Structure 1
Amino acid sequence: NYADNCVAQLILIIFPGAFLIPYFIALIFEGIPLLHLELALGQCLRKGSISAWSAISPYLGGVGVGSWMVSVLVSLYYNTVLTWVMWYFINSFQEPLPWSVCPLNENRTGLNEECYESTAVNYFWYRKTLNITPDITESGTLQWWLVLCLAACWAIVYLCTIRGIETTGKSCSDYTRYDLSVSGSGLAFIVFTQAIILMPGSQAWAILFFTMLFSLGLSSMFGNIEGVFTPLLELQIISKSIPKELLSGIICLVSFLIALCFTLSSGSYWIDIFDRYAGSVPLLVIAFFEVTGVVYVYKIKRFSEDVKWMTGRKLNLYWQITWRFISPLLLLIVFVAFVTLQIQKPPTYTAWNPKHEDFPMKEEKAYPPWVQAICVLLAVLPCIFVPLVALFQLVKKMWRSKDPSFLPPEVFSCQEVNRNFSHPKK
């Protein structure tokens, strides 16, 4: 959920100082209110994303489906970030660190030209790790070292989740934005590694740093993959006769096979696309319908009573104002601004091209039309379930009733759902 904005792995690598002010504004008026809202709903309902929003209103079931779809898409590429971290962690045991010096050329008569014209840190990232192509249309080949690390990462995730569904009961109904843009990944694997080699005992610092990143990333991945499992089990899409270990293994294996495309030489370009369009834009739409659904469908007064019943404390004015007005308004403004910018200026990407005349500056290129179509598909796919499910429920109700109304009868309440549970006395 939105708590990951504070602690998730990639939050350490995407916010340079110039963005601290808007970051804290967004945190105060968006992140914290939405976190509180989701935690309260989770404590009240104790369900996965689809079941929770369907319980509030059948017309809001699409919010849960959209959240689940985002979780699926994010899970496909997020483990590749852990793959990069694992690769750097493995190489951190070398002395000197491999990104601290340029290798010799093939004739061993001087330094590698690409490394010499850029830096050792850049060369290790773009050539030795990604072996990146100069254009997104050039797929390249699978990088075997990344394939092995990716397999290891998915194996670790599987081992962490085969009992997690039963023993921890964790699930996520919304998912954070994981910014993997050029500046973001560069800050982690270029700027930070450059800083590490300047420190005394750089090898030890590198091991500790990438251990920390991997631990944070694994915890985020664990919560995210649980968000994929839980709705499947709750909605009985998967037969209960199938062992959870087998279900986890199938999902992890399929995800690994799909994620192999991110270990191609052009894989980092596609990760940027998935992050920019599948892991960010839909969240604006889903978060907007989350807060408006609670405030105007479930009703803020009833939700406030539920929170008071669960916590023994009445919601103050801050929560009332942010949920009613500020949060949905800011989400709408950001979404409209993003769409407007995309229309005014077609999306572009920056490519690492040693043959570029301004190398080592990265070359800015426009996405080809077929890639732009994929970008639109990734952004629209999770969002389209919100109106589709609402329309389906409306048509179903009109078919069964001669006097249909948009909102279902207000029979749901947190106290009713939890009537068998007593509120702990203070």
Structure 2
Amino acid sequence: MSSIGVWNSISPLLGGVGIASMVVSFLVSIFYNTILSWVLWYFFHSFQEPLPWSQCPLNANRTGYDLECEKSTPVNYFWYRETLNITPDINISGSVQWWLVICLASAWLVVYICFIKGIESMGKAVYVTATFPYLVLTIFLIRALTLPGATDGLVYLFTPDWNILKNPQVWLDAATQIFFSLSVAFGGLIAFSSYNPEKNNCERDAVIVGVINSATSLYASISIFSILGFKATNVFNSCREENILELTNHFEMPDQNMTLENYDDRFDYLNATFPERVASLSLRDCDLQTFLDQSASGTGLAFIVFTEAVIEMPGSQVWAILFFVMLFSLGLSSMFGNIEGVLTPIKDLKLLPKWMPHEVATAIICLISFLTALIFTLGSGNYWVEVFNGYVGSVPLLIIAFFEITAVIYIHGMKK
């Protein structure tokens, strides 16, 4: 039974809660699988040597590097120009990017294959998609903790910033993340749980899943922030090396007179002795905390910050392949819940004829989703993903969950 059937059985007036869950699951599936298509695109390019986002492409005359890329960075250029080919704003649609259409079709084909036999085939796929990310995270954790700057990243992770914590948007993002990772209010969880035996201990399962979910978030964050600390340290050192070169040339100091190790002491001495001359130089302001604050979130974290950090790691191809396989596994397991939250309600509502096989029904849903998601393969596609992510996957889930809790407590009754 789906979310619609469950809420109808509590009260016929609550069927709309189930329909709302189905609509949200459908809309989230559309943009979520688009992110998986981006992951596939990066995964296919991770086998190149060197990685395509590690250096700028040559210009049309092949006399130098692409000017747009040189003004930005190779990582930004590969993401915004070669992957998204993004337009200046959402009002300019741009053309359909054929490479993204192929990746999107591939992502939906994988989802369909996993759903061919319904819960039976998907249950087997979950064994891989749920356990493989833990293996990759453990490998990343061991590697990340040995990188220079990992400690700075961990200190940054566990040091609370009270100004950020006062921002209500942060708590909305946190609530949305928990709803996403626990599949609360999507309807897919209700559909899955309807296959449980009647004597199943649901309370125990709820506690176990909640604890494992939070523990996994913490476990993943240690790996991620260790690598972000490593990246920030590299940028910090590069910044100081530029200043060292500027100061060494200006004051005609011998090489190795000023190094990263004695930079602060030597800079303080020069600044105290020749303040006007130092002030006249175009030195960069190198602050490790600032570089740590520049760590992105969401798609920026996966496709810009993390890919940039991977370049600096020895054997970057291996780490890139592992990272994107892990992302695809995580996204695929999320898609299972979302699609189940659409398929089962459609059967409950009897929108499709009884004679239609499950495989055909699933194919129709996946095809409709794929065709709708073509809007995300336009030049303005990334803007539309942000719109869907900001408005579909946050407040609607909170509203649905509020009505679900109210219905269980006051209509169904807590004691029942």
TM-score range, shorter chain: 0.5 to 0.7
Q: Which residue of 1 aligns with 2:21?
A: 67
1:175 is aligned, of 160, 183, 186, to: 186
Q: Which residue of 2 aligns with 1:295?
A: 409
Output the amino acid matched with 1:112: D
Q: Which whole-Å CA distance do the structure 2 matches of 1:219 and 1:228 have between them?
A: 15
1:82 is aligned, of 28, 36, 42, to: 36
Q: Which whole-Å CA distance do the structure 1 matches of 2:52 and 2:92 have between them?
A: 27
- For residue 240 of structure 1, give the secondary structure of its aligned residue in structure 2: coil
1:361-392 deviation per Cα after TM superposition (whole angstroms, max 9, x unaligned): xxxxxxxxxxxxxxxxxxxxxxxxxxxxxxxx
Match status 1:137 vs 2:91: yes
Match status 1:203 vs 2:317: yes
- For residue 93 of structure 1, give the secondary structure of its aligned residue in structure 2: coil
Q: Which whole-Å CA distance do the structure 2 matches of 1:120 and 1:168 have between them?
A: 39
Q: Which whole-Å CA distance do the structure 2 matches of 1:191 and 1:130 have between them?
A: 16
Closer/same/farther in 2, CA of residues 165 and 236 from structure 1, 3 Å limit: farther
Question: Do the aligned partners of 1:71 and 1:175 also contact (CA within 8 Å) in 2?
Answer: yes
1:282 is aligned, of 379, 396, 414, to: 396
Q: Which residue of 1 aligns with 2:62?
A: 108
Q: Which residue of 1 aligns with 2:340?
A: 226
Q: Which residue of 1 aligns with 2:52?
A: 98
Q: Which residue of 2 aligns with 1:246?
A: 360
Closer/same/farther in 2, CA of residues 229 and 123 from structure 1, 3 Å limit: same
Q: Which whole-Å CA distance do the structure 1 matches of 2:383 and 2:372 have between them?
A: 16
- For residue 301 of structure 1, give the secondary structure of its aligned residue in structure 2: coil
Match status 1:273 vs 2:387: yes
Q: Which whole-Å CA distance do the structure 1 matches of 2:388 and 2:108 have between them?
A: 19
Question: Do the aligned partners of 1:141 and 1:264 also contact (CA within 8 Å) in 2?
Answer: yes
- 1:110 Cα shift? 1.6
Question: Do the aligned partners of 1:140 and 1:265 also contact (CA within 8 Å) in 2?
Answer: yes
Q: Which whole-Å CA distance do the structure 2 matches of 1:184 and 1:267 have between them?
A: 16
From the two aligned structures, give the one with the greater helix fraction.
2
1:260 is aligned, of 364, 374, 380, to: 374
For CA contacts below 8 A with separation 6 or more, give which structure has more relative contact order. Answer: 2
Closer/same/farther in 2, CA of residues 259 and 192 from structure 1, 3 Å limit: same
Q: Number of residue pairs matched?
A: 251
Output the amino acid matched with 1:141: S
Match status 1:161 vs 2:115: yes
Q: Which whole-Å CA distance do the structure 2 matches of 1:115 and 1:166 have between them?
A: 48
1:381-420 equivalence runs, <5 A: none
Q: Which whole-Å CA distance do the structure 1 matches of 2:329 and 2:68 have between them?
A: 33
- 1:234 Cα shift? 2.3
Q: Which residue of 2 aligns with 1:49?
A: 3
- 1:87 Cα shift? 0.2
Q: Which residue of 1 aligns with 2:160?
A: none
Structure 1: unaligned runs, 5 residues or longer: 1-46, 177-181, 303-426
Q: Which whole-Å CA distance do the structure 2 matches of 1:294 and 1:212 have between them?
A: 37
Match status 1:212 vs 2:326: yes
2:75 is aligned, of 92, 106, 121, to: 121
Question: Do the aligned partners of 2:54 and 2:74 also contact (CA within 8 Å) in 1?
Answer: yes
Question: Do the aligned partners of 1:139 and 1:266 also contact (CA within 8 Å) in 2?
Answer: yes
Percent identity of equivalent pairs: 64
Q: Which whole-Å CA distance do the structure 2 matches of 1:121 and 1:276 have between them?
A: 25
Q: Which whole-Å CA distance do the structure 2 matches of 1:164 and 1:84 have between them?
A: 26
- 1:175 Cα shift? 2.8
Q: Which whole-Å CA distance do the structure 1 matches of 2:122 and 2:384 have between them?
A: 33
Q: Which whole-Å CA distance do the structure 1 matches of 2:59 and 2:184 have between them?
A: 51
- For residue 147 of structure 1, give the secondary structure of its aligned residue in structure 2: helix
Output the amino acid matched with 1:68: M
Question: Do the aligned partners of 2:115 and 2:122 also contact (CA within 8 Å) in 1?
Answer: no
1:280-324 deviation per Cα after TM superposition (whole angstroms, max 9, x unaligned): 12111101111111111111122xxxxxxxxxxxxxxxxxxxxxx
- 1:111 Cα shift? 1.4
- For residue 398 of structure 2, give the secondary structure of its aligned residue in structure 1: helix
Question: Do the aligned partners of 1:173 and 1:227 also contact (CA within 8 Å) in 2?
Answer: no
Q: Which residue of 1 aligns with 2:168?
A: none
Q: Which residue of 1 aligns with 2:139?
A: none
Question: Do the aligned partners of 1:49 and 1:173 also contact (CA within 8 Å) in 2?
Answer: no
1:322-356 deviation per Cα after TM superposition (whole angstroms, max 9, x unaligned): xxxxxxxxxxxxxxxxxxxxxxxxxxxxxxxxxxx
- 1:173 Cα shift? 7.2
